[in-house]
């Protein structure tokens, strides 16, 4: 098994070879980090101290045209390909489940350790119609 991007066969728990689409054979596997880097190049990113906002059109494999799976197991934990762990503290993640009128999807990472966090969460909830919520709490 080799990564179809970097052509390396290393498969570690921190950067596993994953199958993110319906490709078969030598194109089936890609490192989590290689796919993450490629996808982040296709994303509009807005960042400040309190929130990261990622905006994109649906991710599809350029070869098989299937929708790319964005959540994978990394080190026995479910990890989203857009999660760069930019926050050093606990956060809430809001993800749009359906595209807006411009066929764009949204992902909001909101820090829970900063002042005014309730105001930001309310603004995000008003902006996005259909969201699923994930969270990370540091212990």
What is the pLDDT, as a whole number, of residue 114? Answer: 53
Question: Do residues 63 and 4 make contact, with C-beta atoms less than 8 angstroms apart?
Answer: no
Long-range contacts of 112-120 (CB under 8 A, 24+ apart): 112/137, 113/87, 113/89, 114/49, 114/50, 114/89, 116/50, 117/50, 120/50, 120/51
- Cβ of 66: how many Cβ atoms within 10 Å? 13
**Size of the chain in residues:** 139
Q: What is the pTM of this model?
A: 0.69
What is the pLDDT, as a whole number, of residue 137? Answer: 47
Q: pLDDT tens digits, the chain, 139 residues: what are they?
A: 899 999 999 999 889 999 999 999 999 999 999 999 998 888 888 877 667 778 888 889 999 999 998 888 888 888 878 776 555 566 777 777 778 888 888 877 777 665 544 445 555 554 544 444 444 444 4
- In the chain, where the domains are located: 42-136
What is the pLDDT, as a whole number, of residue 86? Answer: 54
What is the pLDDT, as a whole number, of residue 112? Answer: 66
């Amino acid at each position: 098994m080799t990564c179809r991007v970097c052509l390396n066969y290393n498969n570690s728990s921190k950067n596993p070879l994953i199958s993110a689409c319906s490709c078969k054979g030598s194109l089936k596997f890609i490192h989590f980090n290689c796919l993450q880097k490629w996808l982040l190049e296709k994303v509009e990113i807005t960042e400040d101290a309190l929130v990261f906002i990622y905006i994109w059109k649906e991710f599809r494999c350029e070869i098989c045209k299937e929708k790319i799976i964005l959540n994978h197991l990394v080190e026995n934990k479910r990890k989203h390909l857009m999660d760069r762990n930019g926050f050093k503290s606990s956060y809430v993640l809001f993800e749009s489940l359906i595209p807006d009128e411009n066929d764009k999807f949204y992902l909001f990472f909101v820090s829970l350790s900063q002042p005014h966090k309730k105001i930001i969460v309310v603004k995000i909830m008003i902006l996005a119609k259909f969201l699923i919520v994930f969270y990370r709490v540091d212990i």
